[in-house]
Structure 1
Amino acid sequence: MNIKKACLGALAATVLAGAALAGALDEPKMMSPFFTDASMKTMKSDADMKKVWAAMAKGDQDKMMKECNDAAMSKPHAKFCEKLKALGGSK
């Protein structure tokens, strides 16, 4: 019985930790305005991306740039982060 409780506890901790690690770059509501399609495969033009970036709250911009500057967090979003930095996203 104790082994069963320990395993369930470990599973619960893993699920909670995984949710905590998801950041702004993993949130569809944060990322979808930068893409032309629902599958978020095709980024908008530079001009449109710059408009979306300018319209974002400063706190959201800071979260995204913090993650883009973290090599581990930005790896799955490397192209997006490169484009964001090139458009003047890093301040």
Structure 2
Amino acid sequence: MNIRTVCLGALAASILAGAAIAGALDEPKMMAPFFTDASMKTMKSDADMKKVWAGMAKGDQAMMMKECNDAAMSKPHAQFCEKLKALGGSK
């Protein structure tokens, strides 16, 4: 087998695996509206979070809730997911 083919295959597999691991909860453009600061450390008030949630596309809401309901995916975002579920996001 050609070494070039093997290397290109390995590169393609690593790119696809990296894309599969990153989800909506890891996307700054999806998460930023829920936070008050650029470092995304301080969440907005419940009322503001509910407004942001209500203004999101249903597909984005479903993707975020799917990840929040997955224990492995939500672990780094546990506080955010708890708040989202409490605000009615798990409907």
TM-score between the two structures when normalised by the length of structure 1: 0.88
Task: Give the percent of matched residue pairs that are identical in Structure 1 and Structure 2.
Answer: 88
Deviation at 1:4, TM superposition (A): 5.7
CA distance in 1, matches of 2:63, 2:4: 38
Amino acid at match of 1:67: E
CA distance in 2, matches of 1:57, 1:11: 33
2:58 corresponding residue in structure 1: 58
Deviation at 1:26, TM superposition (A): 1.0
Amino acid at match of 1:40: M
Q: How many residues align?
A: 91
CA RMSD of aligned residues (A): 1.6
Structure 1 runs, 4 residues or longer, greater than 4 Å off: none
2:42 corresponding residue in structure 1: 42
Q: Which runs of 5+ in 1 are unaligned?
A: none
CA distance in 2, matches of 1:67, 1:45: 22
CA distance in 2, matches of 1:6, 1:34: 43
Q: Which runs of 5+ in 2 are unaligned?
A: none
1:78 corresponding residue in structure 2: 78
Deviation at 1:39, TM superposition (A): 1.0
Amino acid at match of 1:13: A
Deviation at 1:17, TM superposition (A): 1.2
